[in-house]
Amino acid sequence: MRAVIFSDSDCKTELSENLTAGLARVLADNGAQVQAIGLQRDRVAPCLGCFLCATRHRGECVNKDAVGEIRRDVKQLGLTVFVTPVVFGHFSSTVKNALDRGTGSHAWQIVIGCSSDIDAEEKSTFIDLTAKHCGSADIVHPGMDSRVDVHVTQSLEENAAICESLRRDLLAAGQA
């Protein structure tokens, strides 16, 4: 399985670094081919909403950057993990730019909010933002209609629990 881990490299913290390393380790231990991409805010263009990736040149984004390359091969990805700081209960702009451009795997996505200074409402907003909108066929966004898991971590203990949950899911997927 090919897996990509996106993180916001302008907002690195001990928590996010620990999580990204832990996820990469679990994936590699379970035989996944892992690519970790640290996104920089000035190097990831936002989605222009031109729809040319869907109409004129399928899967190709007009913005030629690292995200554009992942976008082109998105159907071959078994898993995409987005590790993002939680800003007002939302993704950071940098990670949102990657997400808006359709880099989420069509098979399985994991969205992880990683911040130590958020309140209960922001945490709940972040979870609902993803969890409420996946699986409901009427309102589902193309590319987000498959399995999407969402977590929020505020401590190293929660990081360890997320990694353990991923390890169990990968084992279950391997046995299925």
Partner 1 sequence: MRRICLINGSLRGKKASSLEFLRDVESRLPDAEYAKTIVTVKARLNGSYPSEVLGQLAAADALILVFPLYAYAIPGALMRLLEDYCSYTRSGKQYTREAKVYAIVNCGFPRPVIFGECVRVLMNFCRRLSLDWRFAVCISSGPVVVTTKRVPFLDLKLKRAFAAIASDLKSGGSAPRVDYFIRPAIPAPICLMVKRRYEKKMDMR
* Binding stretches for partner 1 (CB under 8 A): 41-42, 44-50, 54-55, 58, 87-94, 96-97, 99-100, 106, 121-122, 125, 128-130, 132-133, 138-139, 141-145
Task: Provide, rounded to whole angstroms, the least separation between the CB of residue 110 and partner 1.
Answer: 15
Task: Provide, rounded to whole angstroms, the least separation between the CB of residue 99 and partner 1.
Answer: 6
Q: Which is nearer to partner 1, 22 or 104 (CB)?
A: 104
Q: Which is nearer to partner 1, 68 or 89 (CB)?
A: 89
**138, 141, 78: which is closest to 110 by C-alpha?**
78
Task: Provide, rounded to whole angstroms, the least separation between the CB of residue 35 and partner 1.
Answer: 21
User: Cβ atoms within 10 A of the Cβ of 162, count?
Assistant: 22
**Rounded CA gap, 131 and 51, in Å?**
25
Q: Which is nearer to partner 1, 138 or 157 (CB)?
A: 138
Q: Is 51 left (phi over 0), alpha (psi -120 to 50) or beta?
A: left
Q: Is 168:129 a contact under the CB 8 Å cutoff?
A: no
The dihedrals phi and psi of 7, each to the nearest 5 degrees, come to -140, 165
Task: Provide, rounded to whole angstroms, the least separation between the CB of residue 103 and partner 1.
Answer: 11
Q: Which is nearer to partner 1, 33 or 88 (CB)?
A: 88
Q: Which is nearer to partner 1, 86 or 170 (CB)?
A: 86
Q: Which is nearer to partner 1, 106 or 151 (CB)?
A: 106
By three-state DSSP, how is residue 9 classified?
Answer: helix
Task: Provide, rounded to whole angstroms, the least separation between the CB of residue 30 and partner 1.
Answer: 27
Cα–Cα distance list, 29 to 9, 92, 163 (Å): 24, 29, 12
Amino acid letter, 64: K
Task: Provide, rounded to whole angstroms, the least separation between the CB of residue 31 and partner 1.
Answer: 28
Those residues whose C-beta lies under 8 Å from the C-beta of residue 46, and which sit 6 or more positions away, are: 93, 97, 100, 101
